[in-house]
Amino acid sequence: MVAADFEVDDLVWAKMKNYPFWPAKIVNPPSNTKSTPSKKAHHYVFFFGSENYAWISDENIVHHSEEMLQSTSTKKKSTSYKSAIDKIIAESEKVPMKSRPPIKEKGESKMLTESSPVSSSERKVSKSQRGKSKYESAKKRYFVKVQKSSQNQYFAKMHKKVRKKYFTDRIKSSRSKETSSIELNGETLLGMLSTFAGKTIESTKKKIGFLGLGKMGQRIVKKLIESDHNVTVWNRTLDKCTEFVKLGAHCALTPSSVIAECDVTFCCVSGPDAVKAIVFGPDGVLVGLEGTRGKGYVELTTIDPITSEEIAEAIRHKGGTYLESPVTESKKQDKSESLVVVCSGEYDLFTNCESCFYAFASDAYFLSGEVGSGSNMNLLTSMFMNTVYAALAESLALIRKLNLSQDALLEFLKHGPLNCCLLQHKGKALASDDFFIGSTFKYQQKDLSLALSLGDFCEQPMPLTASANELYKRPIHLLYEPENGTSSGKSTAED
């Protein structure tokens, strides 16, 4: 069944749609497999790291080689991708690397038999060149295929430097979008900001699902219903669905039912553990995706990038599309509260959700096609805000001890370089002993903890964030109710 080009147990790099060349191994297909290869030359492949099996076309398979390993050295890698590379390296130490034999042209075999002997060193160089040539030709075919696809799909796969030029050329587009620049760890990241101010966007005809009716979830669902979206809701406590059914929403009994009934499903719950339970649990998201194709899943919950990547891989494997869109609260100069979403993942899904984002957010920012970048940016934003709030609370506490006016400090900040509506709003609340504003301590501390984990992964010292994290832990153990969002100012003032 296996052609002469590849043999069972050969170590290879294979490519699936929307994924890079991935470390893999040629294996015998099981006798009871439901999938069958097409008429083109295919081989049954086991992918290291993800531990999935698939039929892959020969044109998307190359033998394992040093050139393939070197081609990944400069790329950002997910946890599963790193694991896959480590496993293929371990396997290659047991079995020598192979290069794919050249394809013989008609009438060439006789010439080869009559040619002079080739030394072993020349043979090794020839095999290496053939392996590299095969990789380059496969990569060229892949990018030609990408360029023939839609503009949005091409955008999601473009290299960062190419994407910068792409955004520059799109500034004059008729669509109301502007190129924005964000600097993270010294690297400029470019994305697309959809500004909804002064725009009117017609509600999509797609069926919208929503999982989770906590404080933020209820706020978003109300906006979706008010803007004439067809919404189906689910919550672990079904009693919370009653109010929205009265407003015109539909109610489902399980997350899988929501996925099956809707075209795009949003999820907004408490954290990574709750998200995993909904996605991977019984009657969860993955169950609802069975036998479907092209359904969208949008994650609004603040989660760590590793969890986001795991969920994205699982959903794509089931035929769905994934977009991470963590939500951040924003306060405008007119003191009105709004939401901002930072998205990464499938750009097509981002555009399909534009009317939904328009309903509940003031701005929607598409940062990158790389899953995890949106989670990272959201965690860094939350980390910065919560650390600044802790410093503001300490300053106001010390002002009080010195018998100076807290209002005077806020007025000075207002007319100085630190003028910010968020700081003014938070500072006035703390100065008036209003400690029940904003997010709860539970979620603020969770974001700081996730940011610290991210710093540990990158080996980046974060002493200020670590100190702020300990400060935010305190009210949970004091008399103040953390569910009420008690502010750090009260705890700091009593130190």
- Please write the tens of the pLDDT for every residue from 299-326: 999 888 889 999 999 999 999 999 999 9
Q: Which of the given ranges, 86-100, 147-161, 473-487, has the highest pLDDT on average?
A: 86-100
Residue 193, SS3 per DSSP = strand
With CA atoms as reference, report the closest residue to 387 among 329, 328, 472. 472
**Are 269 and 275 a contacting pair, CB within 8 Å?**
yes
Q: What is the DSSP string of 17-81?
A: TTS--EEEEE-PPPTT-S----SS-EEEEEETTT--EEEEEGGGEEE--HHHHHHTTTS---HHH
The pLDDT confidence band at residue 134, using thresholds 50, 70 and 90, is low
Using the structure block, give the residue that is written with the tokens 């938070």.
426
Model confidence at 96, pLDDT cuts 50, 70, 90, reads low
Greater pLDDT, 291 or 494? 291
Q: Does this model's pTM top 0.85? A: no
Q: Examine the pLDDT at 15 and tell me if it is beyond 60.
A: yes
Looking at the domain that runs over 196-371, which CATH code has it been given?
A: 3.40.50.720
Q: Which residue has the higher pLDDT, 347 or 441?
A: 347
d(CA 72, CA 139): 13
pLDDT > 80? residue 9: yes
φ, ψ dihedrals at 450, nearest 5°: -65, -35
Q: What confidence score (pLDDT) does residue 189 get? A: 41
- How confident is residue 205, by pLDDT bands cut at 50, 70 and 90? very high
What is the reported pLDDT for 352?
92
How far is residue 22 from each of residues 35, 49, 55, 139, measured CA to CA in Å?
A: 20, 9, 14, 13
pLDDT value, residue 81: 83
**pLDDT of 491 over the 60 cut:** no
Mean pLDDT on 447-452: 85
pLDDT at 122 over 90: no
Q: Is the predicted pLDDT of residue 73 greater than 80, yes or no?
A: no
The H or E element spanning position 14 is strand 11-14
Question: Are the CB atoms for 43 and 139 separated by under 8 Å?
Answer: no
CA dist., res. 69 & res. 55, Å (int): 23
Residues in the chain, overall count: 495
Give pLDDT, residue 314: 94
Closest by alpha carbon to 164, among 368, 20, 370, 375? 368
Helices (H), 171-265: 215-226, 241-246, 255-261
For the segment 222-278, what is each residue's pLDDT rounded down to a tens digit?
A: 999 999 999 999 999 989 999 999 999 999 999 999 999 999 999 999 889 999 999
CA distance 253 to 237: 10
Highest mean pLDDT among 26-35, 133-142, 424-433: 424-433
Residue ranges per domain, the chain? 10-93, 196-371, 378-480
What is the pLDDT at residue 389? 85
Mean pLDDT, range 428-455, rounded to an integer? 74
User: What is the pLDDT confidence band of residue 54, given thresholds at 50, 70 and 90?
Assistant: confident
More confident residue, 118 or 67: 67
Quick one: average pLDDT of 343-353? 93
CA distance 26 to 61: 10
User: Is residue 487 pLDDT above 50, yes or no?
Assistant: no
**CA gap 128, 65 in Å, rounded:** 8
Q: What gap in Å lies between CA 398 and CA 414, rounded to an integer?
A: 19
pLDDT over 70, % of the chain: 68
Q: Is the pLDDT of residue 386 over 80?
A: yes
Q: Between residues 11 and 458, which one has the greater pLDDT?
A: 11
| Residue 151, H or E segment | helix 151-157
Does residue 421 register a pLDDT over 80? no
Cα 118-122-126 angle, rounded to 5 deg:
105
Mean pLDDT, residues 368-393? 87
Q: Evaluate whether 326 touches 372 at the Cβ level (below 8 Å).
A: no
Find out if CATH 1.10.1040.10 is the number for domain 378-480. yes
Asked if residues 135 and 60 have their Cβ atoms less than 8 Å apart, the reply is no
Do 10-93 and 378-480 agree at the fold level?
A: no
Q: What single-letter DSSP state applies at residue 487?
A: -
For residue 15, the SS3 value is coil
> Own/partner pairs for 471-474, CB < 8 Å, 24+ apart?
471/390, 472/386, 472/390, 472/441, 472/444, 472/445, 472/448, 473/445
Partners of 329 in the β-ladder = 339
Burial 227-264 (b: 16+ CB within 10 A, else e): bebbbbbbbeeeebbeebeeeebbbbebbbbbbbebbb
Q: Which CATH number fits domain 10-93: 2.30.30.140, 3.30.1120.10, 3.40.50.300, 3.40.50.510?
A: 2.30.30.140
> Which pLDDT value is given to residue 265?
97
Report, as an integer, the average pLDDT of 420-442: 70
Q: In this structure, are residues 373 and 344 in contact, taking their beta carbons and an 8 Å threshold?
A: yes
What is the tens place of the pLDDT at every residue in 181-191? 434 334 444 45
Check whether 120 has a pLDDT greater than 60.
Answer: no
Average pLDDT, rounded, for the chain: 75
pLDDT for 479: 37
Higher-pLDDT residue of 420, 142: 420
